[in-house]
């Protein structure tokens, strides 16, 4: 639900997002300056400072354009329709549950539940396709990280107590 008046369009949340871009760009510039300061062109912080300065200039120009664009009154329901739809809230809940479950039931079980629920909710192809995609994804992740890179994946405190 974008608002069109004249020849410029402002989407819901665009001003807040543009402000966040500026804040993140300032933070990135500050962090890159902290690497080596302005001591010389061959210092390790020069490229990060140039990149973050470009980000900052771009985000300021974006913010200026967004603020200059027109806006109109919206009904209060647009927030849950365009900014924070219920599916986004569900996925955030899934992520929080995943974070809590990982140390308890381990990587394999928590990831399989998280992936299955996310695929089924977002892709809407049915439980069999979601399960197949979950198993395939976990097999690839397990093979790459456990077998090739030899990363020890969390086993979970509840699973270890049972086994």
Q: Which residue has the tokens 């962090």?
A: 31
- 115, 161 in Cβ contact below 8 A? no
- 90, 76 in Cβ contact below 8 A? no
* Residue 114: CB atoms within 10 Å: 19
- 62, 21 in Cβ contact below 8 A? yes
Between strands 8-10 and 3-5, the pairing is antiparallel
DSSP three-state, residue 5: strand
Tell me which H or E stretch contains 157: helix 157-162
User: Rounded to 5 degrees, what are φ and ψ at 71?
Assistant: -140, 165
Q: How far apart are CA 26 and CA 51, in angstroms?
A: 11
pLDDT per residue as tens digits for the range 53-89: 999 999 999 999 999 887 755 666 677 777 788 899 9
- 45, 35 in Cβ contact below 8 A? yes
Which pLDDT band, with edges at 50, 70 and 90, does 2 fall under? very low
pLDDT per residue as tens digits for the range 92-141: 999 999 999 999 999 999 999 999 999 999 998 999 999 999 999 999 99
Residue 78: both structure tokens together: 């647009």
Q: How many helices (H) and strands (E) does the chain have?
A: 6, 2
Residue 42: both structure tokens together: 């061959």
């Amino acid at each position: 639900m974008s608002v069109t008046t004249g020849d410029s369009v402002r989407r819901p949340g665009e001003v807040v997002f543009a402000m966040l871009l500026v804040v993140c760009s300032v933070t990135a510039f500050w962090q890159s300056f902290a690497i080596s300061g302005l001591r010389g062109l061959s210092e390790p912080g020069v490229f990060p400072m140039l990149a973050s300065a470009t980000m900052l200039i771009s985000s300021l120009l974006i913010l200026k354009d967004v603020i200059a664009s027109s806006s109109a009154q919206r009904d209060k329901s647009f927030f849950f329709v365009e900014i924070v739809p219920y599916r986004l809230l569900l996925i955030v809940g899934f992520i929080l549950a995943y974070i809590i479950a990982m140390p308890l039931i381990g990587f394999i079980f928590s990831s399989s539940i998280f992936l299955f629920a996310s695929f089924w909710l977002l892709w809407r192809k049915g439980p069999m396709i979601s399960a197949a995609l979950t198993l395939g994804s976990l097999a690839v992740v397990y093979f790459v990280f456990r077998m090739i890179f030899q990363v020890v994946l969390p086993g979970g405190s509840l699973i270890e107590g049972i086994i």
